[in-house]
Amino acid sequence: MRRRVLTTTKILAIAFTSAACTKPEVRPDLAPSATPSSALATVVAKDASADPKLLALQGELMGMPRVKVLENVAHFRPLCDKDGYPLVGNLNQKAQFPGMEVSELCAEVRKKPS
């Protein structure tokens, strides 16, 4: 019997926006972005007037394979206890700043040479 080749569809996928590095305020000229595939382009649009070095870096990221992009994106953490187990239940609705994770990511991005 021939083995089936199953393909899967991502229902939760990372948006390669590094958008945490963009300013929190929303500009009215943003292009709509509801899908991850267009998210990176949106970031470029968001940062059209940003630091040229940052813009160059984003262009560099656009040409990278997915795995390389992931290597270049700082990771966030789920809400966990001291031993790393997820908190029981779902209490993620508190509007908390991502905190240092964002700052660290931005610092790393800006350190990159153009």
Site residues for other proteins per CB under 8 A:
6-17, 19-20, 22, 24-26, 30, 32-36, 39, 42, 70, 73-79, 81-99
Dihedral angle sign, alpha carbons of residues 67, 69, 71, 76: negative
Q: How far is the CB of 37 from other proteins (least distance, A)?
A: 9
Whichever of 2 and 97 has its CB closer to other proteins, that residue is 97
Q: Smaller CB distance to other proteins: residue 2 or 75? A: 75
**Closest to other proteins by CB, 8 or 49:** 8
Amino acid type, 31: A
CB of 28 to other proteins, least distance (A): 9
Q: Distances in Å between the alpha carbon of 7 and those of 2, 4, 48, 65, 74?
A: 16, 10, 37, 20, 28
| One-letter amino acid for residue 97 of the chain | F
Decide: 53 and 78 in contact? Cβ < 8 Å: no
Least distance (Å) between residue 114 CB and other proteins: 24
Q: Which is nearer to other proteins, 1 or 91 (CB)?
A: 91
Least Å distance, CB 54 to other proteins, is: 16
**Sequence-distant contacts of 4-9: CB under 8 A, at least 24 apart:** none
